[in-house]
A and B are shown apart, each in its own frame.
Chain A
Amino acid sequence: MPGKLKVKIVAGRHLPVMDRASDLTDAFVEVKFGNTTFKTDVYLKSLNPQWNSEWFKFEVDDEDLQDEPLQITVLDHDTYSANDAIGKVYIDIDPLLYSEAATVISGWFPIYDTIHGIRGEINVVVKVDLFNDLNRFRQSSCGVKFFCTTSIPKCYRAVIIHGFVEELVVNEDPEYQWIDRIRTPRASNEARQRLISLMSGELQRKIGLKVLEMRGNAVVGYLQCFDLEGESGLVVRAIGTACTLDKLSSPAAFLPACNSPSKDMKESPLVHPPSHGCRSTHNSPIHTATGSRLTQNFSVSVPTLIYTGMGSGSAGKEGGPFKALLRQQTQSALEQREFPFFTLTAFPPGFLVHVGGVVSARSVKLLDRIHNPDEPETRDAWWAEIRQEIKSHAKALGCHAVVGYSESTSICEEVCILSASGTAAVLNPRFLQDGTVEGCLEQRLEENLPIGCGFCHIPYDELNMPFPAHLTYCYNCRKQKVPDVLFTTIDLPTDAAVIGKGCLIQARLCRLKKKAQAEANATAISNLLPFMEYEVHTQLMNKLKLKGMNALFGLRIQITVGENMLMGLASATGVYLAALPTPGGIQIAGKTPNDGSYEQHISHMQKKINDTIAKNKELYEINPPEISEEIIGSPIPEPRQRSRLLRSQSESSDEVTELDLSHGKKDAFVLEIDDTDAMEDVHSLLTDVPPPSGFYSCNTEIMPGINNWTSEIQMFTSVRVIRLSSLNLTNQALNKNFNDLCENLLKSLYFKLRSMIPCCLCHVNFTVSLPEDELIQVTVTAVAITFDKNQALQTTKTHVEKSLQRASTDNEELLQFPLELCSDSLPSHPFPPAKAVTVEKASPMGEGNFRNRSAPPCANSTVGVVKMTPLSFIPGAKITKYLGIINMFFIRETTSLREEGGVSGFLHAFIAEVFAMVRAHVAALGGNAVVSYIMKQCVFMENPNKNQAQCLINVSGDAVVFVRESDLEVVPTQQPTANCQPLCTEGEVTT
């Protein structure tokens, strides 16, 4: 009995009227955990009941603590008939299970009902007492920290990055069980919510066990997804990167007393509790790199444990490799691992040596009923197959690892496309030997390895290239070969030398497909996939060239399957890497050279394209230094299009088609206009409108060329659904519709956020789904961050000056340049605070303004501000504490769609409610922000004829406490949680 869960129900407010006669409610609360239920007294005739209950105590296994959510149900007491449910609150108590996170959950939670939405709030206090238990056969993994953030969290230091962990659990979907025919929609929705909550708990626990097995203490880049397979079941799967993290000591870290003892921390020899206090107070790993103390700290445990073990399959039989790998100290260690994958997209300095390019694999599967939920072998085997493919692709690129790795599915009826993608990479062998970030960096500096361009250098053998590519000497160091274009799925490395600014680049594509059943359908999809990949790739390449850029970061290609079409949407951030050659232009050639007017048309188009390129270069400030051929020592290459992308898809059969995406042996990048299709392509190239002035956008965390963010941020979700006119749709018409949909959506965003100018939309994340035959749904989540224009201009100027300087100096000096850049921009903290943050301007929107303002009539507001952002950081602020992962799943259904404002009104309210529930949970944990927030799923179904709609939303992120940097200077030891807690209690007084 290793844990005691204690719950206290304090009060409710704003409850709905449940008794029409009295216009009041007789509310009471049921508190349920596992199979134990407690009840409060009935608080008669009030919409603001004060239960002030005793402490309800649950004595439970820590396994249950991890799996089960705490379930709080608010009901209206009825003497004569059954009690009516008002709504529920599910509280994930996982954050209370590890020592450095929250110690208490306390606050107002929205009471949620799947039919009526939020109905009032309830004030709850939750605590956990954990007892030490040294049972080695235990099934729990309490104490393993989970982070959604895909980089090493800001107040931690990576001691060891172990590698890939994955797991999946399956179950029957309650919505498809026979009982669903006789139970109410509410009961069905609640069964589903509860099941998914249970499954995610179980999944997290199992992943935690694997991490402990690998002797790690944390999972970074944790990504959990649901596959709603309909009849065949429900799959919850997760991937992540196991790490051993060490908390960086900072003044704030000492303050909160951690009540809950975690034996895992004590057991592990690798972990140095923060109380050692021998670190410097700096938050950034770079700063702690000095001094020999560190080496002392690590000398005991580190030499034998580097990159130990990869995640094993869910069958668990590969547990063995762990020990064998302990002795591996070099790259070969990675190669022997089952899957040398990392879900991280940003890395400690020196981690990433070379980047090969994007590797991806897709597979089309037919779903069948999962017969035995305890042995989800089929699904495991499917993923294992895909991962194997990815691994072999990486190998072909001369790489031993895959970084920025992610997996996704698209399901339509019984067909499922599984996709995986990542970036093939070579990781630092020295890093492997040392196992410490700092040591590695020091050595690297000694060696004078070129920083800022090193990762661009090809990892593969020049004479034995996996695909035809054109190589040149690196424009930065001129020692190594680089490709002419580079595609990656990771964030731009902080030390990368970039010229100008970046921009969001999207390729959009639709393909009609005949409606078909089962195998025929799967085959049709399989046949279409390579063409789609090819076209998406061509579009990306064209658009990249049109922008005058030579590299893509954060590339994410989503293929969505529908009843009668396939959609492809690729998003990435284009940049100009200083190390790579200047991209060539785009030439247009006609097939019928005799026709004079046609010629004229062609030349007109050509001119337009050239103008656009020139305009874009100006817009994104791309002015690379002129380098004469003599300096380089090799001729400037002819502009060529070469692929970094190696992908393939396979059907359920073992047939694997390797796709060569390079354009044969053409010397220049030529677009041949030989039919209307090609004309359309060229037109669509030119129809992408750049964002209005003052706006930038990217889908990565960092926007190159902008580094003085102010603290004003606005995270948002926007959803659009269009209905296609079903009359004889052609591919072109479909493409145009889809293209317009995306472009209009972006335009709307720019318009809505115009008061934030100058501003950048960061981490723009598009998701496409095809809910019905003629419906296309696009969901966008992003964050708008304002920046200081004047400072931005200055920096770019100095940057350009530096670049120019660099061009004129000789090689010797060149090597030092990136180092300067490195120290200038603090690689571990890519966004140095704008100096102007203390003077918060009174802009009409923006969360940054709340704190210091006291608005007289409304000063007694009881709701603390919680920021949300898809990024891993908050500009102008410092994250002092991670409180735990937020992973929430909600279903909302209505049978009165028109009354709720139609589909838009329904979904608008629901998303606002989801945000509210996320914020409430974060505030209850004592946090004031969610970072790495992501809306992983937004499944919307409607039936206007029946006046019904249903929506499922799954969101996750990391709850954190942050402190404004301006505040930090004044009161460095202020306990950050103080911001939220008193506010909550105040509420009782004012209501």
Chain B
Amino acid sequence: MTSELDIFVGNTTLIDEDVYRLWLDGYSVSDAVALRVRSGILEQTGATAAVLQSDTMDHYRTFHMLERLLHAPPKLLHQLIFQIPPSRQALLIERYYAFDEAFVREVLGKKLSKGTKKDLDDISPKTGITLKSCRRQFDNFKRVFKVVEEMRGSLVDNIQQHFLLSDRLARDYAAIVFFANNRFETGKKKLQYLSFGDFAFCAELMIQNWTLGAVGEAPTDPDSQMDDMDMDLDKEFLQDLKELKVLVADKDLLDLHKSLVCTALRGKLGVFSEMEANFKNLSRGLVNVAAKLTHNKDVRDLFVDLVEKFVEPCRSDHWPLNDVRLFLNQYSASVHSLDGFRHQALWDRYMGTLRGCLLRLYHD
């Protein structure tokens, strides 16, 4: 006796959260059944393995049918085939678009292309995430990217509107899209200690301050031909950053800057002497990073540079985080007292964001 056909269709579509998770994690039906058996469900419910098998198959089939709709979540809301309560719809979408930390770290900043997709074969064993799940996550990134790529307006809002994600998840996707678009390098060994959260935090600051959309906070002409407002860094701003070079190129200015910072921080820093000794190096590092951002290659290496030029030197001298904060605050603020320096606004736009990023990046 073999079962040819075995289905269950409810007027309200049954969604088993546990099975959904297994499906999202990319387990095959038989693996999922085995995992469910291990969870002790048979003992709890008195069901047989055959029942579990049939149930799992059924749910998998449902999810498979829902997947097409999940690719465009507003469709899930308007479709008539599956009657699903709104709270469950939200759960389905949110879980479908959720991603694994380990996975996102592997592809963050990479081009979301076929080439990267081939890398998934290596990423899967490396991260311990099934290939199927890797593909889903990758395709999600790519899909979101494709949809919002050409759109104007707030990146987070666009994502939220077209994928109905929670605020938190939409912000994460904004970061992923932003990184993919600007191709920031995140995979270098020295960047391994950084979490996705760290990058996402930086991405948000950069989107808020360094993109075209950031300028657009002020009332702008809605018909202006500014595309990709939140996705691309403000080219003009990057060009202007060259002007900051004077801060390290002009020796007097550099000395003055140093003395201002040292005066203000004397007695307040545990690592004062180290700071004093390193000031010029650090300042050169930070300003040079800014000056180099006109080249795409250097934009990509932004995080590598920040870690190399600032995070690592400080860390090797064992700066406590609070000292880093005090230093960066003072370092940024003191520039306002440099009479010969004319690019105060530019400096603030640059340093305001960079300070936030550096503080976030500064940990073990």
Contact = CB atoms under 8 A, between A and B. Distances in A.
- A and B from one assembly? yes
A985 interface: no
A850 B77 CA distance: 13
B75 to A, nearest CB: 7
B6 A720 contact: yes
A720 B75 CA distance: 30
A421 to B, nearest CB: 29
Given A14-B78, A849-B87, A855-B87, A915 B11 contact: yes
Interface stretch (A321-329, A580-588, A863-871, A959-967): A863-871
Contact of B164 (A720, A857, A916): A857
Nearest to B87: A855
Nearest to A850: B85
Contact of B7 (A14, A718, A754): A718
A257 to B, nearest CB: 29
A863 B14 CA distance: 17
B78 A718 contact: no
Which has the most chain A C-beta neighbours within 10 Å: B9, B52, B83? B9
Given A723-B4, A866-B83, A904 B57 contact: yes
B86 A748 contact: no
A122 to B, nearest CB: 11
Interface string A719-756: 11111110000000000010011001001111110100
A716 interface: yes
Contacts of B45: 692, 751, 754
B80 A110 contact: yes
Contacts, number: 184
B10 interface: yes
Interface residues of A, number: 71
B55 interface: yes
A853 interface: yes
A911 B7 contact: yes
Given A908-B65, A915-B11, A721 B81 contact: no
B57 to A, nearest CB: 7
Contact of B81 (A856, A857, A912): A912
B86 A853 contact: yes
Interface stretch (A298-306, A840-848, A879-887): A840-848
Contact of B11 (A716, A722, A723): A716
B14 A719 contact: no
A775 B1 CA distance: 10
Interface string B326-355: 000000000000000000000000000000
A844 B14 CA distance: 9
A901 B61 contact: yes
A721 B3 contact: yes
Given A847-B85, A920-B80, A14 B75 contact: yes
Nearest to A784: B10
B81 A118 contact: yes
Contacts of A901: 61, 64
A723 B5 CA distance: 9
A855 B9 contact: no
A911 B9 contact: yes
A865 B11 CA distance: 10
B70 interface: no
Given A121-B80, A744-B51, A915-B83, A861 B12 contact: no
A249 interface: no
Contacts of A913: 81
Contact of A916 (B14, B75, B81): B81
Contact of B85 (A853, A905, A920, A991): A853
Given A720-B3, A849-B85, A714 B57 contact: no
B80 to A, nearest CB: 4
A720 to B, nearest CB: 5
Contacts of B48: 744, 747
B68 to A, nearest CB: 11
Contacts of B85: 845-847, 849-850, 853, 865
B64 A847 contact: no
Contact of A912 (B47, B57, B82, B88): B82
Contact of B77 (A777, A844, A863): A863
The listed residue with most A CB atoms (<10 A of its CB), out of B61, B77, B164, B166, is B77
Contacts of A911: 7, 9
A717 B51 contact: no
Interface string A688-728: 00001000000000000000000000111111111111000
Contacts of B75: 14
A915 B9 contact: yes
A511 interface: no
B82 to A, nearest CB: 7
A362 interface: no
A861 B5 CA distance: 33
Contacts of B5: 719-721, 777, 903-904, 907, 940
Interface string A900-943: 01011101110111011001100000000000000000001000
Q: Which of A716, A915, A920, A940 has the most CB of B within 10 A?
A: A915
Interface string A70-101: 00000000000000000000000000000000
Contacts of A752: 8, 14, 55, 58
Interface in A807-847: 844-847
B15 interface: yes
Contacts of A717: 8-9
B50 interface: yes
Nearest to A865: B83
A108 interface: yes
A860 interface: yes
B54 interface: yes
Given A853-B86, A861-B77, A725 B1 contact: yes
Interface in A10-25: 13-14
Interface in A101-127: 108, 110, 118, 121
A748 B87 contact: no
9 closest residue pairs by CB, A with B: A721-B5, A855-B86, A716-B10, A721-B4, A911-B9, A715-B11, A908-B7, A858-B86, A868-B11
12 contacts: A14-B75, A716-B8, A719-B6, A725-B2, A747-B47, A751-B52, A855-B86, A855-B90, A858-B90, A861-B89, A907-B5, A909-B65
Given A717-B9, A747-B47, A844-B15, 9 more contacts: A748-B55, A844-B88, A853-B85, A857-B93, A858-B90, A863-B83, A905-B65, A916-B81, A990-B78
Interface of A: 13-14, 108, 110, 118, 121, 692, 714-725, 737, 740-741, 744, 747-752, 754, 775, 777, 844-847, 849-850, 853-863, 865-868, 901, 903-905, 907-909, 911-913, 915-916, 919-920, 940, 987, 990-991
Interface of B: 1-15, 17, 45-48, 50-52, 54-55, 57-58, 61-62, 64-65, 74-75, 77-83, 85-90, 93-94, 160, 164-166
